[in-house]
Amino acid sequence: MDCTMTSSILSANYNTILFEFGVILVTSKILHALLRNVYQPRVFSDLLLGIVLAQFRVLSLTNAINLVFGKIGGFVFAPYLFALGVEMDPGTLLDAPTADAVVAYAGILSSSVLVTLFHMPLMKATSGVVHEHSLRSFLGLAAVLANTASPVLTRLTTDLKIAKTAVGRLAVGAGLASDMVTTMLIAVGSMIWRDAGGDGRDSPIVQPVLTAAVLVVVIVSAFVSRAMAEWVGGRNPEGRRMRGFDLSLVALAAAALCWLSSALRLDVNMAAFLVGLAFPSEGRVSRLLVSKINFVLSSFVLPLYVSHVCLSLRQTTDDIEVTGLGRTEGFRAFVMELPFPWWKVFFVTVMGTLGKLTGCAAAGLLRGLGWLEALALGMLLNVKGYFHIYCAQAAFDAGIITDKSFMAIIFMVALNVAVTPMVGMGIASWARRSVQWRLMGLQHHDPSTELRLVVGLHGPQDVPTLSYLMEALRWGGGGGELAAYAVDMVQLTDQTAAAIVKGGGFDGVTVVDEEVSEMRKLIGEALDAYQAECGEGVKVRRLLALSSFPDMHSDICICAEDAMAALVLLPFHKAQRLDGSMDAGHFGFRLVNQKVLQLAPCSVGVVVDRGLGKHATREGQAAMREGQGQAVVVVFIGGADDREALTLAALMSKHPGVRLTALRVVQNATAQARAKARTSLFETKASRRGGVGAAAAASSSALGQEEAQMQVDDKFFAEFYRKHVAGAIGKQGGGGGMGYLEKHVADGAELVAVLRGLQSEYRLFVVGRGRDRSSVLTEGLDEWAECLELGPVGDILASSDFSATASVLIVQQYDAKKHYKVIDEEFMPL
């Protein structure tokens, strides 16, 4: 079919083509959303959809997708390889090998050795995997089996929460190095074994000349790309949104350089990879190009491309009789209709897996990993992806493999991608078991050691307030030493997922999306300013929580467990408006707070900010050091959470710039009478349901628990009063003093009235969440609560009609019974 006829068919059926493309894209999106729950990457959902469409012939999609990709299929993969090249830094090959590079080189070497040992059965003309018996097919097969799909691996480590583990960081770095080296080898091979000219009889000097010309183009690309990046950066300074026209000019220049390389008889896809390598891997322009290209590819192009590969009409003369077709009936049949080559799938899978396992596991053992971790490292680096699908199609087009081998490679990639997440889940569970567990919370914190906090950040607006709290808490122990793990909470969307690249430091991955990068930059500047101002003894480590909102709590909890933190501080999901009221809030961040409160391995504090952060400025910190800080009040009603709030207040009271007051709310005579009446009513109801014996047992149990709780509260507060209130009497002007108030109230209404009367006197209220609090003073308050996760008192303090100036810190004590899974404190193994 010539080009004119193909264009006519496309023009006449564009409605059908758009409909069929829409079906594929929507189905792929739905399938990926379902498979994400079992941590399957997008390439698996695309492959599964393509195989199902090809096997069961769902809809009549074949002609439309093949007609379109028949015209653009030769260069449709070029943007993918260009973005892949931009992410890589070839200059690292000239440096001394790092641990990542050693593991990558070991995997490539072992895979190549294995292919060499088994090259005879692999390269048989009729029954082998490779149809063509030549040096290029041998080297190409070795490079493809040794290749690691670094984009797929990076996304997997992010989804499985293993990017911060030692194995995860090593796997991401080694995967990128392995991907770069093997793809470069394939690109060099495509330059050496390029297509001949039109007559097929080139002079011997033509090939070296063309190769040298391609290298010149690549070198020119390096200079041109850097010059354009500087020019575009000058026109679009940091803090301003990048102009789309400027970014389009850079993309156009890259496309022109790719076309120039392809004009020298180099495959356009390999030319795009080499030009991408020449681009600077760092910088705002490169980050934007990678994120935009990957987003378009993952959302639209790659699902269609994989479906095209699986739906392609393929047939070789060796398979005509097998499919039952006569030579007069044509030479084309669906590849999925051929007999399934089980032995080829098994052989290729075993070859690729053993090659990676042998080399990478050996290198991992030499780096000090355990044997299970080393095997898991090899399995992770064996992951395949879109590039292997492209190589399979390119090898068939070049006559290197047959249809059966082509189908075997497709199924090998699908099987490999499906199994790899299970390995990652095993790594995660193994890492969690290897963490030494201890009681974590403020009451269990050793005052002689540094205080460790995990601080969640929605954006730079949260840094001042949380810096103020860190400064106030750090004098509570360890000589003013504080280790803060600042976690940037970033939602994982399709756009941010397309911008995930290898990261540095404790994070194995990072995001190069412009909006996220700008937000993280502002957070970093604010934290650096805090450390510079009062950084003696303060260590801040930056971390990234890149997850969907239903899973983001796992990043916070894992970080707290790994760091053995005593407290997690999270911003409230609502922010204050200019008029002083609170906005509607972000449901996603509220879900994160709720799950962290439920599952955190340490104490948790939720911060409602109403301008408290201004004291984290230079002037505010100076005022705190001079003893002129704003007043703070801690409210104690009773219960474990209120005891934890008192412990936190005791730490804050040691700061010379904090003027703290302890408010104890106790029952007056009316409240005590109501409490006795409630107990009598409970006994009456219980006797009606279960008799006198049951009523006595139930009432004695309830009364016993309440009395025990009151005794613990009285004892704890008496000790707190002796140390921090009575011991501070007589101290005037200096830091460390603590005031004391005691209010007798009858019910929740009087309690709210007392708190309202103090709102103008204090800048910060510290209160317990009150999970296990059984008091008539808060009875009925939760019926009108808007945010139950804050507790009845915390919800009142956080409401818009309470105050426009007083911030709130709601504290929840860590419940050790959750770790041991016991139902009674009597059986706690402590």
pLDDT tens-digit map of 764-778: 999 999 887 777 788
pLDDT digits (tens, 9 = 90+) for 251-302: 999 999 999 988 888 889 999 999 999 999 888 899 999 999 999 999 999 9
Question: What distances in angstroms separate CA 85 from CA 151, 177, 227, one per listed residue?
Answer: 12, 11, 18
Compute the average pLDDT of residues 516-535: 87
What pLDDT score does 819 carry? 56
Better-scored residue on pLDDT, 724 or 608: 608
Per-residue pLDDT reduced to its tens digit, 38-53: 889 999 999 999 888 8
Amino acid in position 101: A
pLDDT tens-place string over residues 197-223: 554 556 678 888 888 999 999 999 999
**Residue 106 and residue 359 in contact, taking contact as beta carbons nearer than 8 Å:** yes
- The tens digit of pLDDT for each residue in 51-91 reads 888 777 665 555 667 777 777 777 889 999 999 999 999 99
* Res. 828: pLDDT tops 50: no
pLDDT at res. 180: 97
DSSP state of 529: H
Reference 445, options 485, 487, 486, 473; nearest CA is: 473
Nearest to 144 by CA among 360, 389, 373: 389
Average pLDDT over residues 568-579: 93
Other beta carbons less than 10 A from residue 631's beta carbon = 15
Tokens, residue 16: 């059908």
DSSP 266-331: --HHHHHHHHHHHS-SSSHHHHHHHHHHHHHIIIIIHHHHHHHHHH-EE--GGGTTTTT--GGG-S
Q: Identify the CA nearest to 106 among candidates 365, 336, 296.
A: 365
Helix (H, G, I), strand (E, B) or coil at 237: coil
Give the pLDDT score at 327.
43
SS3 768: strand
pTM for this entry: 0.86
CA nearest to 163, candidates 522, 531, 424: 424
Contact assessment for residue 602 and residue 565, using Cβ atoms and an 8 Å cutoff? yes
CATH number, domain 442-684+702-827, options 1.10.645.10, 3.40.50.12280, 3.40.50.12370, 3.40.190.10: 3.40.50.12370
Strand order of the β-sheet with 538-547 is 538-547, 482-491, 451-457, 567-571, 603-608, 807-812, 764-768, 631-636, 659-667, 738-745
Residue 809 CA to residue 798 CA, distance in Å, equals 9
Give me the chain's average pLDDT, please: 83
The rounded percent of the chain whose pLDDT value lies above 90 is: 43
The most confident of the ranges 615-624, 683-692, 757-766, 781-790 is 757-766
Residues 6+ apart with CB under 8 A from 434: none
d(CA 638, CA 714): 9
Find where tokens 């449709």 sit: 76
For the ranges 141-155, 335-349, 661-675, 808-822, the maximum mean pLDDT occurs at: 141-155
Residue 457 scores a pLDDT above 80? yes
Confidence of residue 336 (pLDDT cuts 50, 70, 90): low
What's the pLDDT score for residue 130? 77
Listed ranges 11-15, 84-88, 336-340, 784-788; the one with the highest mean pLDDT = 84-88
Does residue 505 sit in helix, strand or coil?
A: coil
String of DSSP letters for 669-703: HHHHHHHHHHHHHHHHHHHHHHHHHHHHHHHHHHH
Among 409-418, 530-539, 585-594, 695-704, the least confident range: 695-704
pLDDT exceeds cutoff 90 at 347: no
pLDDT band at 734 (very low <50, low <70, confident <90, very high): very low
pLDDT of residue 318: 43
pLDDT at 244: 87
- pLDDT in the model for residue 119: 77
Distance from C-alpha of 436 to C-alpha of 428, rounded to nearest angstrom? 15
d(CA 605, CA 366): 43
Report the distance separating Cα 107 and Cα 364, nearest Å. Answer: 10
Q: How many helices (H) and strands (E) does the chain have?
A: 30, 14
Across 327-341, 534-548, 624-638, the highest mean pLDDT is recorded for 534-548
Q: Any idea where the domains of the chain sit in the sequence?
A: 3-195+205-432, 442-684+702-827
List of residues 6+ apart from 493 with CB closer than 8 A:
none
What's the pLDDT score for residue 697?
53
Relative orientation angle of helices 302-311 and 42-56, to the nearest 10 degrees: 30
Nearest to 248, CA basis, from 237, 235, 239, 238: 235
User: Does the structure show a pLDDT above 90 at 152?
Assistant: yes
In the predicted model, what is the mean pLDDT of residues 502-521? 86
What is residue 535's predicted lDDT score, i.e. its pLDDT?
Answer: 60
> What CATH architecture applies to the domain 3-195+205-432?
Up-down Bundle (1.20)
Q: Extract the tokens encoding 457.
A: 């950040």
User: 690 pLDDT exceeds 70?
Assistant: no
Q: What is the pLDDT of residue 138?
A: 85
Banded model confidence at residue 1, pLDDT cuts 50, 70, 90: very low
Rounded CA separation 448/450 (Å): 7
pLDDT tens-digit profile of 223-237?
Answer: 999 999 999 988 888
The mean per-residue pLDDT over the stretch 149-164 comes to 91
CA distances to 292, 326, 450, 600 from 445, in Å: 47, 81, 9, 16
Of 121 and 592, which is predicted with more confidence? Answer: 592
Supply the pLDDT for residue 201.
Answer: 57
Tokens of 296: 């378009």
Q: What percent of the chain has pLDDT over 70?
A: 81
- How large is the average pLDDT for residues 706-735? 75
